[in-house]
Structure 1
C-alpha cells in the first residue's frame, strides 16, 4: 500500500502500556493505515526515519486552561512542542460558553475568563459551535468541558449568590444543550467564584445531567483550610449519588498541616473505586501551584475587591487563604500583572517595595481595574506527595497550564512549557517512579478513555494519526520557575491528523487541529 507519510523504524509505544516494539507506521490522510514490521521497503509520498526515537500517541492534556489563549494564538506553541496533540478546555468551572443574553452576561463572562490570565477581546458567540469557529485554524485539537461558573453566569442575573430552583433548572438545560452539541462533560471550580457559591445539591443536579449523557464530571474541589480531605469526600459522594464519571482535578496537598499525608487522600479513591465508582484524578509534576491571585481572597472580597470594606477585607486576608491556610509571603510569587516590574517578585518583596503590609499588597493587586487577571505561583506542596500521586494507578497527567507562545509576557508556571517532558525525564528516566510505557499510557490512552475519545490515544490501524516522536535519553523540561519560557529538549516531531505541526523545536505553518465533539 502506498502511504501519504511513512514513519520508518521507530520504537513504538502504542499507548496501552505494552512493551515497545520496532515498527513502521503508514499514514493515509489523517489516519494510521498500517502498523507493520519495519522492513524499509514501503512506498510513501513522504518518509521520516525515526530509528533513533520512540514513537507514541500524541499526548492528551486532560486539564488545561487554554480557552482564551488559543483565541489569541492558535499555534498552541508551548504544548505542541511538548508533543501535546489534544487540549481539554473548560476546566475548573471556566469555559467560554454558554453565553447568556445581553451585555451584562457577556461582561460577567469576560471578567470571569480574565482570571485565566487574559480576557477575550470580544465574545461573539453563544455556544460550542460558534466558539469553535472563533478559535480558527488550530495546530492541535481541542475538546471542551462546560464550566459551572459559565453556567451560573449565563443562567443567573446575579451568579454570585444562592441559585433558585429555577436557576438550577436553567443551568441544567444549558448543560444538556452543550453536551448534546458535543461537549465532553462539566467542570466545577469550587474555590473560584461564582462556582464556589453552589451547595452540594446544585452540583449534584448538574452532575446528574452529565451522568445521563455518559459525560465526565471534572472538579476543582472545595478546598478550605482544614478541609482538603473533606473536599475529596464531597466529590466522591457526588459521583456516588449521581453515577457520574468523576475526574478529580490536579490532586495535591496544599495545606502545610497535610504535607506527607498522600496516603489519606489516595485511600479515599481506592475505597470508592473498589466499591464500583468510576473515579480518577490528574496530576501535574511540580511542587507548586498557580492561579489568579484573587482566588485566594474570601468569596465576598472576590466579588468586588475594590468595593469591599477595606479594614474587614484586610483582616480576612490576614487570617489566611482558603479561610485559614497561613500565608508565607516568600512562597507566593507574582507571575503576571499589569505592572511588569512586579513579575518575579514575592508578595513580601512587593510589600517592602511599596511600604505596605503584604495583606494590603494582595488586596490592592486584586482591586486594580484588571486585578482579576493578576497571576501568582504558590510554593505550597511537597515532592513526596507529587511522586505518590503521580505514580498511583488511578492517576493521569494533566498540566493545568495554557497553550501559549514560548516568547511572551510574564513568568507563568513552567507547567505550561514542560509538564509532559518533565514526567518522562525526571520521573521515568531519573527517578524511576514510572516505567516509560506506563507513563506514556497515562498521557495517551488513559486520558482518552476518561474522556471517551475512541479513536485517539493509541497507535493502531484506523486511529487518528496524532503522534509524537521523542528521544527517551534526552527528553526533559527546560522551563524553570525563574525562566519558564523555554521549550523542552528531546521532542523531535509532533504530528496532528497525519500532518507534521512541529519538528525539532519549531512549530510549522500546518493547522490541522479540530474542535472535537463527543458522540
Structure 2
C-alpha cells in the first residue's frame, strides 16, 4: 500500500468527543485514506512520527475576522501555528462582499472596522472574493458568512431608515450569496449600519436563512440577556439556526451571572430553537473604537461622523453623552484605565499600548473628548482592547455543552510593527489546550478537541471536515498535550504558541516540525 503521508504512532482524537485511540493516519490525494493499527505494510512519500503526540482534526475557528488579512498575507501565521486549518469569516456583520459600486466607499469604511490595513475590493460578490483569495494564495481554508452590514450598505447605503423594496433587495443579495456557497449570515448589532436593523428586517432575512438551512450568527446588542433574548426570538419566529457569537457579560453588574445567561439559551433549546454559542478564552474584548460612540454620532458612517463632530456645539454634546457611558439602553460606566489602545496608525500621535486614561491625560483632554477626536481623525481604523469581563463567566461558557471555540481574531503575521492586537489571534486554541484542559481541568482533551473541530463543522455545515474519518479532507493537527500552551500576552501578543508540531491542510504540510512551510493549499470552501 502506497500513500502520500503516514502519521505514525499518535494518539488519535477523532473530533467526535471520544477519547484517544492509538492509530496510524494515512493520507492520499488530500483525503484520509485509512486509519490503521500499524500492522499494515505501508509505503509513504512522507512519514511523521507522532509517538507521544495527539493527532486531531485541524482546528476550525468558528468566529474570525480574517476576511481581509488572508488577502494581505496568505501565510496566516497567527492561526496555522496554533493548529487552525479553517477560518470562518464574515462575522459581526462584516464581510468582504457584496460590494456595490454606488456605495463603494462605505463598503471600504466598514471593512476598515475589522482592523486590517485598507483594501479596495476588485470584486462584488462571493465568487469574485473567492477568486481573489485563490489568486493571493492562503495557507488555511476560508469558510465565508455574508455580513449583514455589507448587505445593508449594498441595498440602502448608510441610511438608518430602510424601505420594503430595500429589504427585498437585501434578501435577493443574501440569496445570491447563499447560492454561491455562503454558510450563512452574520449581524453586528452594535455596529453601524447593522445596528439600525429592526425586528421585521431581521425576520425577513432569517426566514431566508431558514429556507437554506443556513446559519444566523449574531453579535448581539443590548446587555447579554436582552441580546440573547432577541437572538433566540428570531430563531423561534423564523426557524433559523442561531449562533450567538462570542458570548460574554460585559456589564460589571452582570459579572458572575454566566449560568443565568445560559439558562436563556437552554430554555429556547427546550422549545425547539436550534441555538448555540461560541466563546473565546480571554476576559477582554477588542474592536473598533467607533463601536462605543453614541448611535447618533455614528449615524451615516465615517464621513457623516467627521462632519458632525466638526461642529463645536455637537462635539460638546457628544462628549457629554459619551462620558455618561457606553452600550445600548442602560449605559455601562467607563473605566478608562481598562481601555487600551491596540492600533492607532499614529492618529493624534496616540501611543499604542497605552490606556485611554493615560493617553488622554498626555494629550491634555478629557477621555471622552480624546476618544471622539481619535474617531474623527481615524474613523474605524482605531482599535481598542476592553478589560470588561470576568474569567469565571468565560469558563462557565467554555464548559457549556452547546458552546464551541472561536477566537474573534484574524489570521495575521507575527510582525505587527509595534501594534498590540488582542492575543486571541495568536493563542486562543493553544490557550484552551494548555490552560483550560491541562491546567484547570475545565475540559477533557477529547471534549476540547470536539469543541474546536467536529462540533464546529456540524454547526457551520462543513460536511467533509472536522473529524478524522475515512474519506474526509485531510486537515490534521499534531501537538504535544503535555506542553502545548499559548505565549501571547496583552503586552506582548505577537508570540507563537509552543507544542504544536505539525499542521496539515488538505493533505499538505503547512507547519512541519514547528516551522511554517511555503505551502498555500487553502481555499474558499462552499456550502454547495
**TM above 0.5:** yes
Contact 1:492/1:503 (8 A) holds in 2: yes
Tell me how far 1:371 sits from its aligned partner: 2.7
In structure 2, stretches of 5+ residues that fail to align are 309-313
Report the 3-state secondary structure (helix = DSSP H, G, I; strand = E; otherwise coil) of the residue aligned with 1:70: helix
- Identify which of 123, 126, 129 aligns with 2:127: 129
Whether the aligned pair in 1 keeps the contact of 2:339 and 2:385 (CA below 8 Å) is yes
TM-score, L = length of structure 1: 0.97
2:311 aligned residue: none
1:81 aligns with 2:71: no
Please say if 1:269 is aligned against 2:265: yes
Q: Deviations over 1:217-240 (max 9, x none)?
A: 0000012xxx32111000000011
Q: Show the counterpart of 1:319.
A: 324
| Residue 115 of structure 2, aligned match among 98, 104, 117 | 117
Are the counterparts in 1 of residues 339 and 355 from structure 2 also a CA contact under 8 Å? yes
Deviation at 1:40, TM superposition (A): 7.3
CA contact (8 A) 2:350 2:359 kept: no
Aligned residue in 2 for 1:398:
406
Q: How does 1:421-440 map to 2 (within 5 A)?
A: 421-440=430-449
Q: Is the 8 A contact 2:144 2:182 kept in 1?
A: yes
Aligned pairs for 1:301-380 (under 5 A) are 301-302=297-298, 303=301, 304-308=304-308, 309-323=314-328, 324-339=331-346, 342-368=351-377, 370-380=378-388
Match of 1:193 in 2: 192
**Most deviating of 292-301 and 84-93:** 292-301
- Structure 2 Cα separation of the partners of residues 505 and 294 of structure 1: 38
Deviates more, 1:195-204 or 1:338-347: 338-347
Alpha-carbon distance, 1:359 to partner: 0.6
Q: Displacement, 1:487?
A: 0.4
Residue 408 (1) aligns with residue 416 (2) = yes
- Worse overlay, 36-45 or 60-69: 36-45
Aligned to 1:60: 60
| 1:274-293 to 2 correspondences below 5 Å | 274-293=270-289
Aligned counterparts of 1:335 and 1:159: Cα–Cα separation in 2? 27
Instruction: Please state how far the C-alpha of 1:19 moved relative to its aligned partner.
Output: 1.0
2:408 and 2:425 in contact (8 A); partners too: yes
Partner of 1:514 in structure 2?
A: 523
Q: Is 1:209–2:228 an aligned residue pair?
A: no
Residue correspondences, number:
512
CA apart distance, 1:18: 0.7
Residues 1:54 and 1:40: Cα distance change in structure 2 (over 3 Å): farther
Query: In 1, Cα distance between the equivalents of 2:326 and 2:482?
Result: 41
Q: Does 1:500 align with 2:509?
A: yes
Alpha-carbon distance between aligned partners in 2 of 1:253 and 1:40, rounded to the nearest angstrom: 52
SS in 2 for 1:307: helix
1:168-183 superposed matches below 5 A = 168-183=167-182
What residue number does 1:42 align with? 42
Q: Distance in 1 between matches of 2:40 and 2:341?
A: 53
TM-score scaled by length of structure 2: 0.95
Kept after mapping to 1: 8 A contact 2:106/2:158: no
Using the TM superposition, give the Cα deviation of residue 133 of structure 1 relative to its aligned residue in structure 2, in angstroms.
Answer: 1.3
- Partner of 1:169, secondary structure, is helix
Q: Distance in 1 between matches of 2:101 and 2:233?
A: 34
> 1:292 & 1:140 partners in 2: Cα distance?
25
Q: Distance in 2 between matches of 1:19 and 1:196?
A: 43
| Contact 1:71–1:120 under 8 Å retained in 2 | no
Contact 2:68 2:119 (C-alpha < 8 Å) held by counterparts: no
**What's the counterpart of residue 486 of structure 2?**
477
* 3-state SS in 2 of match to 1:112: helix
Conserved? CA contact 2:58–2:477, under 8 Å: yes
Matching residue within 379, 388, 401 for 2:396: 388
Q: Provide the rounded CA distance (Å) in 1 between the counterparts of 2:143 and 2:450.
A: 19
* In structure 1, distance between residues paired with 2:40 and 2:317: 73
Distance 1:341 1:296, change over 3 A: closer
Q: CA deviation at 1:87?
A: 0.2
1:119 deviation in Å? 4.7
Q: Name the CA distance, whole Å, in 1 between partners of 2:322 and 2:272.
A: 41
User: Out of 440, 445, 456, which is 1:447 matched to?
Assistant: 456
Q: Are the counterparts in 2 of residues 418 and 479 from structure 1 also a CA contact under 8 Å?
A: yes
CA contact under 8 A between 1:111 and 1:119: conserved in structure 2? no
Q: How much does 1:341 deviate?
A: 5.4
Distance 1:503 1:178 in 2: 36
- For residues 500 and 305 of structure 1, what CA distance do their matches in structure 2 show? 47
Q: Counterparts of 1:144-183 in structure 2 under 5 Å? A: 144-156=144-156, 158-183=157-182
Shift in Å, 1:404 = 0.1
After superposition, give the CA deviation of every residue in 1:234-266 in whole Å (9 maximum; x if it has no partner): 000001100001100000000001000112100
- Please identify runs of 4+ aligned residues in structure 1 that moved more than 6 A: none
Worse-matched range after superposition: 232-241 or 503-512: 503-512
Q: Deviations over 1:30-70 (max 9, x none)?
A: 10000010237421111111112100000000100011111
Q: Deviations over 1:169-217 (max 9, x none)?
A: 0000000010001000000000000000011111111011111111000
